[in-house]
Amino acid sequence: MNVWDRAHECMSREELEQLQLERLQATLNRVYRNVSFYKKAFDAIGFVPEDLNDLSGLSRLPFTTRKDLADAYPYEMFAVPLREVVRVHASSGTPENPSVVGYTANDLKHWSELVARMLSAAGVTKDDVIQVAFAYGLLTGAFGLHYGAERIGASVIPSSVGNTQRQIRILKDYRTTTLVCTPGYAMRIAQVLEEMEIDPKTLTLRRGLFGGEPWGDEVRGIIEAKLYIEAYDNYGLSEVMGPGVAAECEKRDGMHVYEDHFIPEIIDPETGQAVPEGSVGELVLTTITKEAFPVIRFRTGDLTSMNNQRCACGRTVSRIGRISGRCDEIIIIKGVNVYPKSIGSILTAVTGTEPAYQLVADAVNHQDALEVRIEVSERFFFDKMERQRILVERLQKKIRDTVGLTAHVVLVEKGSINRVDETSPMVVDRRKRSTA
Ligand code: DLL
């Protein structure tokens, strides 16, 4: 069994809880002193960090939402001066503003350690060759995985996303043993491999670690059969760290949350109250080691359940089940978080009116596709084909440039989308994601 940090991953629950309490107290002090949002929020309920004497006190504190982070755009939530920040990433946030997150040198050290844990849990060692097929950029996936794999001493190939034939050539010629990307991109690689008539058994690929978007056991089965590998799930989010928050071990029976860095809670999204162990609810996370961007009781919007039973792998940290959906408006297409209203704002900006629109998310060959349907109106010169084509192209380009997604824009007949009476939902999600 491969445990990267036995001292922390397998520590007794008593010791773990003591460590969590100390780290939580330090974090609460840090945010109270340095982040005006938390100073105000704590003052409003008459809480001072010294009051917290046990972990159960955490549930008295207010939640932090994506909206709070967007309101603090870009740097108001940072708990250190910018000169101590050595890396900045950003994720979709809200339609108004992205969530901008920062890391001190120490945060980056922790992040690499956490990703090293999750890679080790899937059996990765320094003898492995890892192909990182996440987009290198503002999103956290690529850089997070990259530095964690280097920490282990594996050979890292930063192939980034796209150009799938070239990815396959790299897989083959560079003798990749471990692929990391979104499950959707793994499906795409599997499909192109088939088209190129390459037998996966002739490759050196042994395993894949997939995350960044929801997927279920059906897709896992397909990826494993088509790529002839073992596929592991891992979970994370920019606002809390990036990849490396929770990951499957070799038992693949839930994802271990690295509780010496994050305190998980599962709440009823309606009432905000804790749900019993095993019940599905919204995952709430508190960071307890982060310096630049600590978050207290951050509402992830992700639905899952908690399992506190000891895992057969020997790790003592709790597990969350696979993410079964979201309880907010965000939809995730090809690993990119999208607020439907952000697309609406783009449509308004480009067309100069607020058109009726609808988003249709679908899975074509188990790969995400987004269709944006817009009702034509007189303003769209719907009788002039050439002008329509130009409009569609402009919209597609603007969506690509702003959201980072290639969407298929379709003009539909006037009256076919009824948003006024809400009889047509803003989002139709046809993807079937069994997480059972
Ligand atoms: O997706 C970080 C990441 C990158 C995790 C690569 C794992 C691998 P964001 O772009 O901020 O960060 O998106 C975070 O993606 O709240 C979930 O809704 C979703 N998500 C991430 N991992 C999983 C997963 C990265 N394994 C949002 N299963 C999260 C289901 C996931 N959903």
Distance CA 198, CA 190 (A): 10
CA-closest residue to ligand 1 atom 21? 212
Distance CA 229, CA 187 (A): 12
For CA atoms 223, 227, 228, 234, the dihedral sign is: negative
How remote is the CA of residue 155 from the centroid of ligand 1, in Å?
24
pLDDT band at 380 (very low <50, low <70, confident <90, very high): low
Q: Is 139 helix (H, G, I), strand (E, B) or coil?
A: coil
pLDDT at 435: 54
CA-closest residue to ligand 1 atom 12? 237
| pLDDT tens for each residue of 126-148 | 999 999 999 999 999 999 999 99
Q: What is the mean pLDDT of residues 395-404?
A: 91
pLDDT band at 432 (very low <50, low <70, confident <90, very high): low
Q: What is the mean pLDDT of residues 189-204?
A: 97
CB-ligand 1 contact for 238 (6 Å cutoff): yes
Is pLDDT above 50 for 7? Answer: yes
Q: What percent of the chain has pLDDT over 70?
A: 96
| pLDDT tens for each residue of 315-337 | 999 999 999 988 988 899 998 98
pLDDT at 436: 44
Which residues, including other chains, have CB under 8 Å from residue 138's CB and lie 6 or more apart?
89, 90, 91
pLDDT band at 410 (very low <50, low <70, confident <90, very high): very high
Q: Mean pLDDT over all residues of the chain?
A: 93
pLDDT band at 270 (very low <50, low <70, confident <90, very high): very high
Q: How many CB atoms lie within 10 A of CB 377?
A: 14
CB-ligand 1 contact for 214 (6 Å cutoff): yes
How remote is the CA of residue 211 from the centroid of ligand 1, in Å?
6
* Closest ligand 1 atom number to CA of residue 323: 30
- With b meaning 16 or more CB within 10 Å and e meaning fewer, what string describes 168-199? bebbbeeebbbbbbbbbbbbbbbeebeeeeee
Using alpha carbons, list the distances in angstroms from residue 333 to 19, 185, 215, 339, 403.
38, 11, 12, 10, 10
| Closest alpha carbon to 398 in 374, 430, 367 | 374
Give the mutation target among 65, 235, 299, 331 for probing the ligand 1 site: most ligand atoms within 8 A of CB.
235
CA-closest residue to ligand 1 atom 27? 237
pLDDT at 68: 96
Q: For residue 198, which amino acid is it? A: I
| Closest alpha carbon to 293 in 261, 266, 319, 269 | 261
H helix count then E strand count, the chain: 11, 21
Helical (H) or strand (E) element with 233: strand 230-237
Higher pLDDT, 154 or 96: 154
Q: What is the mean pLDDT of residues 268-283?
A: 95
Q: For residue 334, which amino acid is it? A: K
Q: What is the mean pLDDT of residues 397-421?
A: 86
* Closest ligand 1 atom number to CA of residue 326: 18
pLDDT at 156: 98
**DSSP 8-state class, residue 352:** S
Is pLDDT above 70 for 383? Answer: no
CB-ligand 1 contact for 27 (6 Å cutoff): no
How remote is the CA of residue 142 from the centroid of ligand 1, in Å?
12
Using alpha carbons, list the distances in angstroms from residue 292 to 89, 92, 277, 382.
12, 19, 31, 51
Is pLDDT above 70 for 381? Answer: no
Whether 369 and 358 have beta carbons less than 8 Å apart is answered as no
Distance CA 163, CA 133 (A): 10
How remote is the CA of residue 242 from the centroid of ligand 1, in Å?
8
